């Protein structure tokens, strides 16, 4: 399907179902949906250490893979549990074996070379020692976001990234009903040192290879905010290959970004049809063809430039395809692997042979686990992993 030839078709679908629009459709107050639990705001938790607990296995018993104590093994997966207040540690062969309480509705995460994970929650950024599986601190935001709540429109941290030298964490903070902010955390002092305005709902945050720039991908304002790391000056680059018609009611918005290792350009997939390649220095874009024809969210890129993008499912079931994982080689050739049900984000094993795709999904249709995809032949299987897992990292 070519959405430029029929953007009005997509908008008609939206108009017919405006009462049901979710995270890709608006950014105002939280809609009422029976499938999503809500909770009144909670005060920020103190920063005392919180030890890990072993979550129940699918059978209801305590997970007991032999890794619930001692140092976390290399290759363990760490996922944010958007459906609870925890992150979960997952053995890629056996499933979840421990969890750590971090804060309300955790979203993105990033792990440093020192083994500390930085987790964007509704209340602040949690700092977790992944080796001992203990929460070390919770750094509150400087931005006022209202009570800490759950649900896809909740205020607080979304995208998060770490500077190459490990000295700063950058977190995109969503402000319900308005523009967001990029907050800068000093990783030694464990406090917010700077704050700069960005666009609406900063789904993703990335850093340039040399650490000189930070990129906030703003879902509801159709743009990327380029932030200079030295003086925190900003530039806005519109990224809207289908235009901005429909505004907050449009599905055709940016979600996640990958920074291409070879040249530092930004890669933003849209709808399994278009890959927007942005030169952050000039703001100019090139649009390349993609082949999955499905609504796309999570994106990552490997050191050799292979791009992996999660397709969540169709905007229009009559013409679009179902959930999938696109694996795009540096030369532009693509393999599209079908997925069973919606997914949100993706990480790749160190050897590049396996992808781990989270089932948490920011809208209805999520499930509590991962899909493990063999990238050599496309075979896959499901793995239980936390409560509505969104963000993921390989330790």
Side-chain half-sphere of 217: how many Cα atoms within 13 Å? 27
The domains of the chain, with CATH numbers, are: 45-394 (2.130.10.10)
Q: pLDDT (tens digit, 9 = 90+) per residue, 58-100? A: 333 233 333 456 899 999 999 999 999 999 999 999 999 999 9
Q: Give the pLDDT score at 361.
A: 86
* Spatial separation of the C-alpha atoms in residues 167 and 162, rounded to whole Å: 8
Q: pLDDT (tens digit, 9 = 90+) per residue, 234-247? A: 999 999 999 999 89
Q: Give the pLDDT score at 365.
A: 84
Query: 9 phi and psi, to 5 degrees?
Result: -65, -45
Q: Give the pLDDT score at 68.
A: 54
Q: Give the pLDDT score at 52.
A: 56
pTM of model > 0.85: yes
Q: Give the pLDDT score at 24.
A: 61
Q: Give the pLDDT score at 81.
A: 98
* Spatial separation of the C-alpha atoms in residues 100 and 93, rounded to whole Å: 20
Q: Give the pLDDT score at 95.
A: 95
Q: How many helices (H) and strands (E) are present in the chain, helices listed first?
A: 1, 29
- Report, as ranges of residue numbers, the positions in the chain whose pLDDT lies below 70: 1-69
* Spatial separation of the C-alpha atoms in residues 1 and 117, rounded to whole Å: 40
95-108 in b/e form (b: 16+ CB < 10 A) is: bbbbbbbbbbbbbb
Q: Give the pLDDT score at 44.
A: 35
**Helix (H, G, I), strand (E, B), or coil: what is residue 248?**
helix
Structural contact between residues 374 and 380, judged by C-beta atoms closer than 8 angstroms: yes
């Amino acid at each position: 399907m070519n959405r430029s030839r029929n953007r009005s078709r997509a908008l008609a679908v939206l108009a017919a179902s405006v009462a049901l629009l979710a995270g890709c459709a608006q950014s105002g107050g939280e809609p009422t949906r029976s499938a999503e639990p809500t909770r009144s705001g909670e005060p920020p938790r103190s920063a005392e250490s919180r030890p890990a607990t072993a979550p129940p296995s699918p059978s209801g018993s305590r997970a007991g893979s032999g890794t619930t104590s001692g140092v976390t093994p290399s290759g363990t997966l760490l996922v944010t549990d958007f459906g609870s207040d925890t992150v979960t540690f997952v053995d890629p062969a056996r499933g979840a074996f421990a969890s750590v309480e971090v804060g309300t509705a955790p979203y993105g995460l990033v792990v440093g070379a020192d083994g500390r994970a930085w987790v964007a929650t509704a209340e602040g950024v949690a700092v977790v020692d992944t080796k001992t599986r203990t929460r070390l601190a919770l750094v509150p935001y400087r931005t006022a976001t209202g009570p800490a709540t759950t649900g896809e429109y909740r205020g607080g941290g979304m995208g998060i990234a770490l500077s190459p030298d490990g000295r700063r964490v950058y977190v995109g903070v969503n402000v319900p009903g308005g523009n967001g902010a990029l907050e800068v955390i000093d990783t030694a002092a464990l406090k917010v040192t700077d704050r700069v305005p960005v666009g609406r709902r900063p789904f993703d945050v990335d850093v340039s290879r040399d650490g000189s720039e930070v990129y906030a991908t703003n879902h509801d304002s159709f743009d990327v905010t380029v932030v200079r790391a030295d003086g925190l000056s900003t530039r806005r680059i519109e990224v809207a290959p289908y235009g901005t018609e429909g505004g907050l009611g449009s599905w055709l918005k940016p979600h996640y970004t990958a920074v291409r290792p070879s040249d530092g350009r930004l890669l933003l997939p849209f709808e399994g049809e278009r890959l927007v390649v942005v030169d952050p220095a000039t703001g100019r874009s090139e649009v390349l063809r993609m082949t999955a024809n499905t609504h796309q969210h999570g994106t990552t890129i490997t050191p050799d430039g292979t791009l992996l993008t999660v397709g969540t499912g169709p905007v229009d079931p009559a013409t679009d395809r179902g959930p999938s994982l696109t694996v795009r080689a540096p030369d532009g050739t693509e393999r599209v692997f079908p997925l069973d049900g919606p997914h949100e984000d993706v990480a790749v094993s160190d050897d590049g042979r396996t992808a781990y795709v989270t089932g948490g999904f920011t809208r209805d249709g999520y499930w509590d686990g991962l899909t493990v995809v063999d990238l050599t032949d496309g075979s896959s299987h499901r793995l239980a992993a936390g409560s509505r897992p969104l963000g993921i990292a390989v330790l």
